[in-house]
Structure 1
Amino acid sequence: MRLLLIPLAILVISAPALARDSLGVFGDWGAFRDPETPRCYAIAAAEGGAGLDFVPFASVGTWPDRNVRGQVHFRLSRELSDNPRVALAVGGQRFVLTAGEGDAWATDVRADGEIVSAMRSASRMTISATDARGNRFTDRYSLDGAATAMDAARVGCAQ
């Protein structure tokens, strides 16, 4: 757990536009509010890894002005192939994600809800995909504190 706090701090420092007001750090997850947008989100850095193209993270965001709550977003560690086959495993459940160059999202609002629900009851999640070099890779996350961070983000943007 403590080892992930340093990557989370690096993630927040390296992307100051993401972190406006801290709502707290809960286990391996943090919660933040950006009052300018406005938006709130829970976020965690992926565990370790070498040969990264990007700094990987997982987030669950809320945009009250857009009536969006619980939207999942993953910044993957590598640039993706044209056919990346992105799969998320949370506990015993598996989800197919839609992807861009180095990002992945749930396929729709219903899938967002299912993923968030699974994240609340699991201890770990992994995302596997095919990178631009044709290699399969996996980003791994602890879900310790995820539910509390998601709750803090939602409350932080309550109006």
Structure 2
Amino acid sequence: MSRILATASAIACTLAAFASPAQARESLGLYGTWGAFRDPLVPRCYAIAMAEPSAKRRDYQPFVAVGTWPKRSARNQVHFRLSRKMAEGTKITLRIGSQRIELTGGGGDAWPRDNGDNAAIIAAMRSAPRMTVYARGEVRGGFSNTWQLAGAASAMDAAAIGCAQLR
């Protein structure tokens, strides 16, 4: 129970940096280390999880979010906030299951390069146990962030259902 409360607290802290004012968000549920939320003012819904803890240097609190924006007809859009500011022009690679997918991004953020890669990531997240993003930091070379995926499919489904009637 204390791990669930710690996870919920950590997700809430991450959301403070990611989402609009706290009073606008509605919790749709916690699923393992993943949370699902709805923000009807935007409107949007998203599943979100923090990366595994690390004692290594961090510039940012790393998280991954899978968002849906009904008014934009955008569904299941993947966004990674990485732990470090990346070197300019760095290669960003996601390893998920047996797949390696190149991402695009800059600063501390990364995304799939196109809709096909986004769909492949979403599909792989439903069956892989974990995923790791590798990049080169602006300072001190390579780094990685890892996310456990237990609960990811349920959180993504809850977010999709939560936005089904928001237009």
The TM-score bracket by the shorter chain reads: over 0.9
Q: TM-score, normalised by structure 2?
A: 0.89
The match for 1:10 among 7, 13, 34 is 13
Are residues 18 and 131 of structure 1, via their aligned partners in 2, closer, same or farther at CA, if it must alter by over 3 Å? farther
Match of residue 144 from structure 2: 138
Report Cα offsets for 1:1-35 as digits up to 9, x if no partner. 64644432321345552751110100110000111
Match of residue 155 from structure 2: 149
The match for 1:41 among 46, 57, 82 is 46
Match of residue 129 from structure 2: 123
User: Which segment drifts farther, 121-130 or 9-18?
Assistant: 9-18
Does residue 26 (structure 1) correspond to residue 26 (structure 2)? The answer is no
Q: Give the distance between the partners of 2:112 and 2:131, measured in 1 at CA.
A: 14
Q: Give the root-mean-square deviation of aligned CA atoms.
A: 1.6
Q: Give yes or no for contact 1:83–1:130 (8 Å, CA) kept in 2.
A: no
Match of residue 107 from structure 2: 101
1:71 alignment partner AA: Q
Q: Give yes or no for contact 1:124–1:143 (8 Å, CA) kept in 2.
A: yes
Q: TM-score, normalised by structure 1?
A: 0.93
Counting aligned pairs with the same residue, the percent is 48
SS at match of 1:133: coil
Q: Give the distance between the partners of 2:79 and 2:18, measured in 1 at CA.
A: 15
- Shift in Å, 1:134: 4.9
Aligned length: 159
